[in-house]
Structure 1
Amino acid sequence: MKEKLLLVGAGGFGRVVLEHAQKEYDCAFLDDGEKTSADGVPVIGKTSDIEKLFGEYKKLMVTIGNNALREKLYKRAEKCGYTFPNIIVSSAYISPYAKLGSGIVILNNAVVQNNAKIGDGTILNPGVEAHHDSMIGKYCIVYTNSVVRSLTQVGDRAWIGSTCTISTGAEVPADAVVEDGAVVKRVTDQ
């Protein structure tokens, strides 16, 4: 019998995570919309039910793309005692020397190299690369085919669009928004 996993958010990202989570877990959703199910999986309540459902569910994953809201919901769930698994798609490569937090989603063909650090509640979309010795903070989202190069620091709750390059040694501050296709270069002394 599979362990139960409560997915918070039954929108598009929640349904993507569901496809991979169902391989290991018996899933149900919480969602603040009017849905009663998503892809055949029941929506059993609203986000206001997180506390009430602890006990019946011990594992939880927040599947909402909004970084600040995802952080807030994880912190509420943490106070209850939930644990947060990582959902890592089998086509992703994670170095055995990488350091991963909890509640992380790593999707198709993503790469996390040696000594890269990925913070709690962070989402790496398909094709993302986190190169060696880089650090992506907590509750970040990095969209498709973006590259976070070596020795880079990405602050908590940063939003990095698709096909971006964060150059070697660059720093992205907390709560920053990096638009699709941007290149963030390291500032060097002249």
Structure 2
Amino acid sequence: MKPVVVIGGGGHAKVVIQTLRLTGTPVVGYTDLEDRHGGSIQGVPYLGTDEAFVLCYTPGDVVLTIGLGSVKSNVPRIRLYTRFKELGYPFHSLIHPSAVIADDVVIGEAVQIMAGAVIQPSVRIGANVIVNTRASVDHDCRLDDHCSIAPGAIITGAVTVATGAFVGAGATIIQNITIGQHACVGAGAVVLQDVRPGSTAVGIPAKEVGSS
């Protein structure tokens, strides 16, 4: 396969790089707005800004993966994905070897499924989605484009997480719930009813407290 460039050098990039290594995927380097790590992350070299990268590597040279995680908002990841897709760059879907994924799960482009995640049958995952460390997604769920499931979150059966939504660490969403577009579910929340688009829901049981 073509070598991978990691776009974005945040803490999430460290996890991405380790997972790429575990899967035997060659990594050229990473980009960021500035060199914040002394020239490398875990031995992977800094290639410069996104603009400098575009001048050196064409869409035919490499595939990309995003090294920027999500903290409440997925907008920065969406912007990166959209920008490089428009420039013609392909994206790599990253699956940790310890993830457990049913054989009929549909996985889109640029998806990242991290260590210990469990994805059960008949799940559909859109593009540029993160299912983070030890998150669990049960049967018949739909994770739409650009959403993020944080570490340890539990998504029970037939849940829809709409485009750009964020589910915080350790949150639990009961069956048949819809998390609206660009909504945010706080860490540790227990969601017993739908969360409206653009809303933030926190607590046990979760209540909407404002906009995301």
Fold match, TM over 0.5?
Answer: yes
Kindly report which structure 2 residues correspond to 1:9-158, keeping only aligned pairs within 5 A, or say none: 9-22=8-21, 23-35=24-36, 36-52=39-55, 53-55=57-59, 57-66=61-70, 67-158=74-165
Distance between the aligned counterparts of 1:150 and 1:13, measured in 2?
A: 28
CA–CA distance in 1 between the matches of 2:143 and 2:47? 33
Q: Is the 8 A contact 1:6 1:57 kept in 2?
A: no
What secondary structure, in the 3-state scheme, does the structure 2 residue paired with 1:3 have? coil
CA RMSD of aligned residues (A): 1.6
The residue identity in structure 1 corresponding to 2:41 is: A
CA contact (8 A) 1:51 1:77 kept: no
Output the amino acid matched with 2:2: E
**Correspondences of 1:165-180 after superposition (within 5 Å):** 165-180=172-187
Native 8 Å contact 1:18 1:27 kept in 2: no
Q: Is the 8 A contact 2:108 2:127 kept in 1?
A: yes
1:62: Cα distance to partner? 1.2
Aligned-partner Cα distance in 1 for 2:53–2:143: 27
Residue in 1 that maps onto 2:207: none
TM superposition shift of 1:158: 1.0
For 1:18, the aligned partner's letter is I
User: Structure 2, unaligned stretches of length 5 or more?
Assistant: 195-212
Deviation at 1:56, TM superposition (A): 6.4
Quote the offset at 1:37 in angstroms.
Answer: 1.4
The 3-state SS of whatever aligns with 1:174 is coil
Work out the CA distance in 1 between the residues paired with 2:43 and 2:20: 14
Q: Deviations over 1:88-145 (max 9, x none)?
A: 1111011111111111111111111111111111111111111110011111111111
Q: CA deviation at 1:148?
A: 1.0
Could you tell me whether the CA contact under 8 Å between 1:168 and 1:186 is conserved in 2?
A: no
Aligned residue pair count: 186
Question: Does 1:185 pair with 2:192?
Answer: yes
| Structure 1 residue 47 displacement after superposition | 2.1
Aligned to 1:5: 4
Cα pair 1:50 1:77 within 8 Å, conserved: no
Offset at residue 38 of structure 1 (A): 1.2
Letter in 2 for 1:10: G
Letter in 2 for 1:33: E
- Structure 1: where are the runs of 5+ without partners? none
Contact 2:3 2:25 in 1 (8 A): no
